[in-house]
Structure 1
Amino acid sequence: MRRSLSLLLIALCSSVAPAQALPGNQIPDDVKERCKADYAKLCSGVMPGGGRIIACFQAHKDEVSPDCRDALSKMKN
């Protein structure tokens, strides 16, 4: 579980931040927290980087929890 959470944090920092141009590659803590179960359930086998985690979430958009979906949508604003 600890490894999955670490991979999620690395993946979110490496794949979302550059696309969103967040300062210092910082992903909001609420996004990390609100999406970690979805990552473990849907995307834990996805190699981080290159936007693959976000692509996985998009591919499973009907399965992503409403809480995670809301957090991800707020990052796009």
Structure 2
Amino acid sequence: MSKLSFAVLAFVVAFSGTASAQSSDTRGACKADYDKFCAGIAPGGGKIIACLNAKRDQLSATCKAALDSRKK
């Protein structure tokens, strides 16, 4: 494996772990809000995040903070 291929592979693996951790953190922080406001929304294409953002003024502080951390 060339050095460039290894570097690209390492970057992809590192980035996917970070994205997955953020997604998992948001899921846990927003579960109650999702159940309350967006339960009928099927996952995929950012629809759940869009629903939560549309209900932002009604969300818990924990969920708002998790959504804000996704923007960074």
TM-score with structure 1 setting the length:
0.63
Q: Which has the larger radius of gyration?
A: 2
Distance in 1 separating the partners of 2:54 and 2:64: 12
The Cα of 1:32 is off from its aligned counterpart by: 1.9
| Matched residue SS, 1:49 | coil
> Runs of 5+ in structure 1 lacking a partner?
1-21
Q: How does 1:1-77 map to 2 (within 5 A)?
A: 23=16, 26-28=20-22, 29-77=24-72
Higher helix share: 2
RMSD after superposition: 1.6
Q: Number of matched residues?
A: 56
> Runs of 5+ in structure 2 lacking a partner?
1-14
Paired-residue identity, %: 45
TM-score with structure 2 setting the length:
0.67
